[in-house]
C-alpha cells in the first residue's frame, strides 16, 4: 500500500482564480484495500474533484460512510470531512479561489459546507471536460486539459473587479489577520453590506472566512516541521489572543487538538512530502 500527493501550479493567466492542481494517488496490490482515513480540512477554497479511475472514495457523514460522486464540486467548508479511498485510484482536483466562480457565472450561496455533482452546478461543459481527463495516466496531460477548459472560460469573462473580490484578496493577503471594521472602511462600504454580500455569494460571513484562512495558515506553518511546534509561538505568530484561543479555534475547524493533528502520520492529502 502506498499513497502520494502532488501539486502543480496553474499558468500565470489563471493564477488569480486557481490555487493549484493536485493529484492524490492510492496504490494497493490487495484488491479493495482501504486507505488510511484522510482529513479534508477547511481551507477557504473551492474544490473541483474528479476520480480518474473506476474506484471511488467514501466520506463520513453523520456516522455513515457514503460513496462520493465520480466528479463533484465542493463549496467553502467550515467542517473537517473524513474520507478514504477504497481500492487503487487517482483523484484529480482543481483548488479554486472563491472569486473563481465568476468563470462559471454561478453563486455559491447554497454551497457553503456542501458538495454536489459537477453537472448539477456547471452543466454539460464540465461533463465534456470530465470525459476528456478520465483514464489519463499522465498528470501533466490532465493539467493541460484543465488549463484548456479553464482558459476557455477565462476568454469569455468580463474583467470586472468588485469590493467583494477585493475583500477576499485582502483577507488572504493578511493570512486572516484583518479587522472587519477596518476592512469595510478600506473598501468604502458598510460592514453590514459586506456581510450581506458575503452571505449571498458564498453562504458565509467575512468573519468566518477570515477565521478559516487564519486557521489554514497556522496549520500550514507547522505541516512539515521536524519537531512538535511551540503552540504559544504559533498562537502569537498568527494573531490569536492567546494559546487557548488558538487551540479552541483549531479544534473547531479540525475536530482535534493541534498536537494530535501534527502527530497523525497517516495524512497524505494536502501534505507535500520532501
What is the set of domains in the chain, with CATH numbers?
A: 2-155 (2.60.120.10), 163-262 (1.10.10.60)
What is the tens place of the pLDDT at every residue in 196-255?
999 999 999 999 999 999 999 999 998 878 888 999 999 999 999 999 999 999 999 999
Q: Is the dihedral of CA 66, 86, 111, 167 positive or negative?
A: positive
The pLDDT-based confidence of 160 (bands split at 50, 70, 90) is low
The pLDDT-based confidence of 274 (bands split at 50, 70, 90) is very low
Helix or strand holding residue 258 (H, E): helix 258-262
Nearest to 3 by CA among 210, 214, 273: 273
Mean pLDDT of 68-75: 94
Q: Is the Cβ–Cβ distance between 104 and 155 less than 8 Å?
A: no
The pLDDT-based confidence of 32 (bands split at 50, 70, 90) is confident
> Which of 35-49, 110-124, 147-161 tops mean pLDDT?
35-49
The overall average pLDDT reported for the chain is: 91
Helix or strand holding residue 170 (H, E): helix 163-173
* Dihedrals phi, psi of 158, to nearest 5 degrees: -80, 120
Amino acid at each position: 500500500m502506498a499513497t502520494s500527493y502532488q501539486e502543480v501550479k496553474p499558468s500565470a493567466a489563471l493564477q488569480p482564480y486557481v490555487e493549484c492542481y493536485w493529484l492524490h494517488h492510492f496504490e494497493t496490490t490487495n484488491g479493495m484495500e482501504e486507505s488510511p482515513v484522510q482529513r479534508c480540512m477547511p481551507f477557504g477554497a473551492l474544490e473541483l474533484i474528479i476520480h480518474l479511475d473506476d474506484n471511488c472514495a467514501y466520506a463520513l457523514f453523520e456516522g455513515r460512510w457514503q460513496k462520493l460522486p465520480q466528479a463533484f464540486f465542493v463549496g467553502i467548508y467550515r467542517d473537517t470531512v473524513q474520507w478514504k479511498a477504497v481500492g487503487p485510484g487517482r483523484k484529480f482536483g482543481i483548488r479554486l479561489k472563491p472569486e473563481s466562480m465568476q468563470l462559471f457565472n454561478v453563486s455559491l450561496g447554497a454551497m457553503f459546507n456542501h458538495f454536489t455533482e459537477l453537472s448539477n452546478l456547471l452543466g454539460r461543459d464540465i461533463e465534456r471536460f470530465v470525459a476528456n481527463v478520465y483514464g489519463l495516466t499522465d498528470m501533466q496531460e490532465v493539467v493541460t486539459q484543465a488549463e484548456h477548459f479553464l482558459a476557455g472560460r477565462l476568454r469569455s469573462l468580463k474583467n470586472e473587479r468588485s469590493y467583494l473580490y477585493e475583500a477576499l484578496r485582502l483577507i488572504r493577503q493578511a493570512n486572516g489577520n484583518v479587522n472587519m471594521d477596518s476592512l469595510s472602511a478600506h473598501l468604502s462600504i458598510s460592514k453590514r453590506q459586506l456581510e450581506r454580500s458575503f452571505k449571498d455569494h458564498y453562504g458565509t460571513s467575512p468573519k468566518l472566512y477570515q477565521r478559516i484562512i487564519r486557521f489554514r495558515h497556522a496549520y500550514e506553518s507547522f505541516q512539515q516541521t521536524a519537531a512538535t511546534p511551540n503552540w504559544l509561538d504559533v498562537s502569537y505568530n498568527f494573531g490569536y489572543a492567546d494559546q487557548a484561543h488558538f487551540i479552541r479555534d483549531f479544534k473547531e475547524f479540525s475536530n482535534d487538538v493541534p498536537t494530535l493533528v501534527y502527530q497523525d502520520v497517516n495524512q497524505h492529502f494536502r501534505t507535500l512530502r520532501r
